[in-house]
Structure 1
Amino acid sequence: MRDVVERVREDVTGKLEITREGIVHDLTTPNGRHELTALRVRRRLEHTMPSELPAHTGTPDVEAPDQGILRHPDVIVVALSDMADDGPFAPRSLLAAIEVVSRSNPDNDWVGKMRDYPLMGVPCYAVFDPRTGTGTVLSDIHDTPEGPRYAIRKDFVYGEDVAIGEWTISTTDLPRYPQ
């Protein structure tokens, strides 16, 4: 599936990812509110973290070849030293993956990535949902009969401070999608 994604990535709009169920195609490119949320979260995180830990947006993807999963988080926290390699990021090198929920495919963030990130070994997953002005931070991966899952879930409402890993940021003034 990875070969298919690589071949068609330049010719399709939106974002392509690989899950255990197959290829996810988010047809729409992120809108201004989505991108502004990712930017504000990234900047707020970087103000609280040491300089060797950037909050990164962009490429490359995060891939767990042994699981057949390729994901593209909106923001990741990863050590600068782990960014020096070519190719996709190793999921276990991430300190956190942050997603801003897409209007066109919210289940990709709330269901698919909530399942895939612990399976890949991403230790902390934060979700910001501009549709509802809420979010959650998940951590502490543990094994279950259905596979690895996050044991700790901390929900928040926009306007509250939220801890993502060791860092706390404000969610004040994060944009909402129009109703």
Structure 2
Amino acid sequence: MKRIDVSEESYNNVTNILATIAKPFHVRKGEYLQRAGVLATQVHWLASGVARSGFFNREGQEVTLRFYREGESATTLTDLINGEDGLPAVQFLIAETPVHGFTLDWKIASELRSQNEGMQQYHLNIAMHGLHALAQRAYSSGETSAQERLAAFREEYPGLEARISQRAIASYLGITPQYMSRLRREAELASGEPRQA
């Protein structure tokens, strides 16, 4: 609620509305919640676990866009919108840890939102938060060093580094896993304390 600047009343109202269409799901680590090339029709709300979104660039390399944690909707919004026109998803969503949560049918959720002004404001706050995060990420990716990007990752996702693979973090930072290892070793030396794997 604090992250997206909504009241407890608003959060509870939207949660109660969406609970009527929510279906429980569970995936193991490494399983896809959404595959690129397939129509995106579901929003995934995470009750526990971590998911990652990304895409494959022209060279076939995996590019990580963001991570989703407990209490967040793992969603690739542009794919859901494009899916309304029958276009397949460009991004994937994959479980970085075992994930439990609820799926919501995008079309039904959109119809519910169109009928409820409070829900519209709630989702506008989420969209604004997402746009702000996207702008920060674009700046960080293009104008900062790998060390600065790692520091920004740790600030944006506190505690996440210990829960997911070094390869996933390296993909997010736009560096190789080998360089990621080097950055971590340098950080250990600078702090005098070994980081947990």
Higher helix share: 2
Shorter-normalised TM range: under 0.3
- TM-score, with structure 1 as normaliser: 0.27
Higher strand share: 1
In terms of Rg, which structure is larger?
A: 2
- TM-score, with structure 2 as normaliser: 0.26
Give the number of the structure with larger relative contact order, counting CA–CA contacts within 8 Å between residues 6 or more apart. 2
